Structure 1
């Protein structure tokens, strides 16, 4: 009796499950196709946006290969009447361009190292250590981000005069080594590291410095890479401050200042200036390519501090 009663129910349930499964399969097919279409459209949009952003660079590269007289020819053409690869070699004969590159590399590398040291230590103090007035000091420190760099030019120049650092590499490096951006970035990342790791290190007898060097820094390579790239590019592309604080451009001039030397009373060598601009982009481009994986990971994780 019970068997006859239960058997139709089981068969009925199996039938219902098969129908529901078929309906789910039929319903998922259009959704899967729509998802693929959206994915393809998203890729197309990304490629189109990348091409739009690359068009000025492509035009600048081909303009560097044109004769100077054809830079503003109408109608504009992408490729000139002749391709002059010699423009890239002539850049180094026009002025002390090797000196500009060497000075920029030294200033950018030294400035990046100083910023990394200051930002990591300050970020550790603000993010991991507990001391009275920490949050208030940090808010005051962040308030400096609202002050435009142009407003600080005159006070910083006066300070450099007091120190006797005008027309020196110290003046190009140290005024921008203590920025709140790097400290904020590192603090946010440090706050996302589990406190259990730090407590375990203290149980093993490690102090704050050893914990910072052995635990915190090895876990922060991606965030440090992000800060290093941003800082290097900032020093590399800086123009206003080196232009003001440098007197002997042939000795302490940086690459952005050197690019302006192609303009003079006799006119502007646009072909050489374009070639020099392309050359100046090589170090930063290589740096971004080398640290690409760390950049993606660091940017994704830097904003998760305090979660």
Structure 2
């Protein structure tokens, strides 16, 4: 018994030690960014580089929030609106499609699903020009419509929800059928209430992806009023990289705060949703 206990202790100790080292490796760049955002520009560019500021200052944060040509508050608002709208659109479109693939038995169901799943392998550059031309023809360029609706039919979302829906016992739906419920009634009153964890996990995934997206918003937005936060920070980096490096880092630190808040609030649902959909390695 003592040998088993020692073996279990060393096994868990090794796992925890590895996780601590990995966490330190991942968090180190973020810690450097936070630390240098409180330095002056002269101190950041000093060699050898310093990790801890000699005299911490909030000047960079003040400049990021007050300079009129930056408008960090406006870019943050645009990112939150675009990411929230995109998340809602993905859930509204993907949930019924996933239910159809999981429950409806029609000719070619598996073939069609395989074809849809294969589109994941298409790089985004393939659909860039057609999507841009479509936005131009719809007169949606430089609007929130161009930031929200393209890509809302998310194949990953359909796959994730389908995996979860297939694990829900069909007996629950059969009970609803005896009460006279059709396909929509079963989907609305049985499937969706049992899928809150999966829907939350998918919502967080697509929200984070769209919030951090740079390429597509850079293509379809042209004015200061419609830029998202990644686009604004990219322009800030190009314009002030040599002169105001701490200010760029301050903007990057501020941009991560909404993501941290969302993750802290929904952490349990994210883990549970990923596990129950079969994506957690079980």
Say whether 1:54 aligns with 2:27.
yes
Select 1:241's aligned residue among 211, 216, 235: 216
Following TM superposition, by how much is the alpha carbon of 1:33 offset from its aligned partner in structure 2, in angstroms? 1.8
Q: Which residue of 2 aligns with 1:136?
A: 111
Say whether 1:223 aligns with 2:198.
yes
Q: Which moved more, 1:90-99 or 1:56-65?
A: 90-99
Structure-1 separation of matches of 2:121 and 2:44:
40
Task: Please give the root-mean-square deviation of Cα atoms over the aligned residues, in Å.
Answer: 1.8
Following TM superposition, by how much is the alpha carbon of 1:222 offset from its aligned partner in structure 2, in angstroms? 1.2
Select 1:256's aligned residue among 230, 234, 258: 230
Q: Which residue of 1 aligns with 2:185?
A: 210
Select 2:71's aligned residue among 85, 96, 100: 96
Q: Which residue of 1 aligns with 2:93?
A: 118
Structure 1 unpaired stretches of 5+ = 1-27
Q: Which residue of 2 aligns with 1:176?
A: 151
CA deviation digits over 1:55-74, x for unaligned, max 9?
A: 11100100111111222321
Following TM superposition, by how much is the alpha carbon of 1:41 offset from its aligned partner in structure 2, in angstroms? 2.2
Secondary structure at the aligned position of 1:78 is classed as: coil
Instruction: Sort the Cα spacing of 1:178 and 1:208 in 2 relative to 1 into closer, same or farther, 3 A.
Output: same
Q: TM-score, normalised by structure 1?
A: 0.86
Instruction: Sort the Cα spacing of 1:214 and 1:64 in 2 relative to 1 into closer, same or farther, 3 A.
Output: same
Say whether 1:150 aligns with 2:125.
yes
Structure-1 separation of matches of 2:221 and 2:29:
31
Following TM superposition, by how much is the alpha carbon of 1:181 offset from its aligned partner in structure 2, in angstroms? 0.4
Following TM superposition, by how much is the alpha carbon of 1:192 offset from its aligned partner in structure 2, in angstroms? 0.6
Say whether 1:38 aligns with 2:11.
yes
CA deviation digits over 1:9-62, x for unaligned, max 9?
A: xxxxxxxxxxxxxxxxxxx22112211221122112212211111111100100
Number of aligned residues:
278
Q: TM-score, normalised by structure 2?
A: 0.94
Following TM superposition, by how much is the alpha carbon of 1:266 offset from its aligned partner in structure 2, in angstroms? 8.7
Instruction: Sort the Cα spacing of 1:268 and 1:208 in 2 relative to 1 into closer, same or farther, 3 A.
Output: farther
Q: Which residue of 2 aligns with 1:232?
A: 207
Following TM superposition, by how much is the alpha carbon of 1:261 offset from its aligned partner in structure 2, in angstroms? 2.8
CA deviation digits over 1:121-147, x for unaligned, max 9?
A: 111111112222221221111111011
Structure-1 separation of matches of 2:112 and 2:11:
47
Secondary structure at the aligned position of 1:127 is classed as: helix
Q: Which residue of 2 aligns with 1:64?
A: 37
Structure-2 separation of matches of 1:115 and 1:99:
24
Structure-1 separation of matches of 2:117 and 2:44:
45
Following TM superposition, by how much is the alpha carbon of 1:251 offset from its aligned partner in structure 2, in angstroms? 1.2
Structure-1 separation of matches of 2:83 and 2:147:
9
Q: Which residue of 1 aligns with 2:175?
A: 200
